[in-house]
């Protein structure tokens, strides 16, 4: 679908993309992790898009199998949510992904 193509384009054209909700603490946590790492992700707040928000979430679920927020992509690759991103960071595996995606 058109929306699916636009999501794929967004995640491929930006080094780091975070689909988020403004009032969700897990979304805030992953946004502040990137900030601390000096990375400026493209942040899309799904609760600020009106009816497109739930539609985008459905597309994300179709593409990634994940219906929850935050939904993180690095270098066009689906990473997962907050716990997935933090786990990679703790294992030292987030940095290489960020460098490879030219985010740092």
Cβ at position 50, least distance to ligand FES in Å: 19
Site for ligand GSH contains 81 (CB under 6 A): yes
To 5 degrees, how large is the angle CA 81–CA 8–CA 5?
135
| CB-nearest residue to ligand FES | 24
Count of other CB atoms within 10 angstroms of residue 76:
15
- The secondary structure of the chain in percent helix, strand, coil, rounded to multiples of 5, reads 55, 15, 30
Residues 13-32 that bind ligand FES (CB under 6 A): 24-26
How far apart are CB 86 and its own copies at their closest, in Å?
12
- Site for ligand GSH contains 25 (CB under 6 A): yes
Residues 74-103 that bind its own copies (CB under 8 A): 82
Q: Which two tokens stand for residue 60?
A: 């994300």
Nearest-CA neighbor of 43 among 6, 62, 69?
Answer: 69
Contact footprint for its own copies (CB under 8 A): 23-26, 68, 82
Contact footprint for ligand GSH (CB under 6 A): 23-26, 67-70, 81-83
């Amino acid at each position: 679908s058109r929306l699916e193509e636009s999501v794929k384009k967004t995640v491929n054209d930006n080094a780091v993309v975070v689909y988020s909700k403004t009032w969700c603490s897990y979304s805030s946590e992953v946004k502040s992790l990137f900030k601390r790492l000096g990375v400026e992700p493209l942040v899309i707040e799904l609760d600020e898009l009106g009816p497109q928000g739930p539609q985008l979430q459905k597309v994300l679920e179709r593409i990634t199998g994940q219906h929850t927020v935050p939904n993180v992509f690095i270098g066009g690759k689906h990473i997962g949510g907050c716990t997935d991103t933090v786990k990679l960071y703790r294992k030292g595996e987030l940095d290489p992904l960020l460098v490879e995606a030219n985010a740092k």
